[in-house]
Structure formats: structure tokens, C-alpha cells
Structure 1
Amino acid sequence: MEQVKRLRADGRRNRERIVEVAAELVAREGAQVSLEEIARRAGVGSATLHRHFPSRQALLEAVFRDGVAQLCARAAAKPGKAPADELADWLEEVTVYTVTHRGLAAALLAGPEGLSAEDICCTDLLLNVVKALVARASSVGALHAGATAEDLVKLVNAIAVANENDPTTARRVLRLALTGIRR
């Protein structure tokens, strides 16, 4: 993120526009969308795209990280439900987001090009929220003792990958799975 702050205003605008266009195209066409098409629709040259994002993985991480940051902010902004319901609702929101960004979960899990799995799939952001939600639900005895935040993140991602672009089925499968972790 520091790199973004040091960019000139036009560089920041180009970077933001690239991420915005990439998010739209990935949601519609999948994570293998042409980088040249992203650059063209963003109104920049291919070299500009590659200067900001040296690899497809770096661009996908930026697309995913922005969306996950928004999901995490929403989780923090609306507590107050029963802890188990709060956890289930937020996990459903994450699942639907991941499912509707075709191919993104699988592409980000691929991991190459110098990015760790934690950096690529934004596990750090997700885990902080999930850990807090799991702690609240566990404190009132609403979860099985063995249910961990890490397991729930894996569960959500697996459901998203298995039900790509089918949020209705993903919601149903997640609800079935969450029934198994509740007391």
C-alpha cells in the first residue's frame, strides 16, 4: 500500500481504474480474463498495467483484497445479533462474494509468483474477523469446541470453489455445513 501513496495523482487514478475494471471483468468473465482487455477498458496501456501489477496474481490479489476489506469493515460495523447468527451471516456474505467472482478463489489459491497463500487469499484480513466472531459465538456456547476460524475460512473457500457462480447453492451448502458446527 505504501507504493500507492507515493504515486503521482495520475498514477493513483490509473491504478484505481485498473482494479475497478479488473473487478468488473473478473466478476463477469472469471479470473482468466485477458490482461490486455483489462488495460484497454481501463484506458491504459499494457505497460502501465504491468508497471502497477507485475503479474496476474498481483492484480487478482488487489481485486480480492479490496473486496475482503469491505466485507471485514461491514462485519465490524454491524454487531449486535446473537453471536452464532452474526458469524453465520458474515460467513454467508463472504461465501457469496467469493462465489460471484468467477474463478477468483481458485486462481488466488494457486499461489505462485512470490506471493504466500496468506497474502494471496487475504487470510490475514479474514482471520481477524472470523476469530472475533468465533470467540463471541464460543463464549456463549454456540459452537462446537473444535470449530476454529481457520477451519471456517477453509470451509467457505471450498464451498465457493465447488459452487462457482451459483450463490443459491453455495448459501444452501454453507447453511448445511454450519448446522454441523452449532451446538
Structure 2
Amino acid sequence: MSIHAALFHVRTRRPRAGAEYQRLLDALNASAVAAVEDMGWTASLHAAGSDPEHSLRRASREADVVVLLGGDDIDPSLYGQSDRRPIRTPYERRADRMQIAVIMDAVSQRRPLLGVCRGHQLLNVALGGLCASTCRGTAAPARIPSWTRPCRASRHSPRDFSRRRCAPTTRRSTSSVAACTPSCTPTTG
């Protein structure tokens, strides 16, 4: 039996964003899919900002592991903050809502979840963690960096990950592309 990972990203096309930003995200998403497949698992990639809701929820329910990938900033109203970005562009509110719904479905089904960058921030916010935006100037890379190549990973079962108990972390999230980056801290209870 093959293990299947459903990977959720924001969207495949961003008409308002620069082509280089989309190419960077496409390379990162392709690297994530390749890393999953290198482990001997199957993978599917889903655009939370544009795929139909029933398709997103079905993909989440049918997966053994759910992975929320990086991308655009999350709406700060989700963690009780205002928009303090120097340049205001629309948030991907539908993608935020759909990924939070996927998170809650996976949690209720006790399905393993992994959040990468934006995905980790959404996971934290959906589960009651705290975030605070810190605004800086942008420093987007001039070209797609070499670290976007897929890595080699060992073979693991989703049960290996779900059996581990993770301690809360106070690590700050940072991004070289986003103007405002939430710094998220899981709550302890």
C-alpha cells in the first residue's frame, strides 16, 4: 500500500504578482512534490485559492498525510492584527479559509499534518496560536535559488510522525519575499 500526501499551495497563477515570484513558488512546489515522491510516496498538489472546495476537502480526506506549503502572506485579521504592510495588495482570503478547513478536517480525523512557512503559520493560527506581524522592506531573490532542488529523504510511515509528541516552539518565522512576516508562537495549555 502506497502512502499518499496531499500538498496544498495557494494558487497556480497570480496575475498581479511578478512572473519571477510565480516561478519561485512553482519551483518550491515542484521540489516538495519531488521530495515526497523520493520517499516512495505518491503526491498530489492542490491550489487552495482556486480549486473547488469539494475537491480540496476530498483530497484532504483521501490523503494519509496533509502538507500545507508556503506562499503569500496570510490575512492578519485571522490572528487579530491589522494590515501594516507598506504596499497593500489583496490577501488570498479564500486560500486562507480553505487551508484552515483542510487543517480542521485533518485534525478531527487525526491525520498527520505538516506546515511549511505560510502553512506553519496557518496551522498555528487555526489551532489557537499567537502571531504578530513585523514589517520590513522586501528582499526578493533576483533568481530562483539552488536550494529549491528536491532533497533526498528517508522512507517513513505517517504513523512514525503521528506517534511523536512535539513540544511547543517559540521560533520566529521569517521570509525574504514577504513584506510583513508573522512571528508565530504556539500557545500552551
Q: TM-score, normalised on structure 2?
A: 0.30
User: Whose helix proportion is higher, 1 or 2?
Assistant: 1
Greater C-alpha Rg: 1
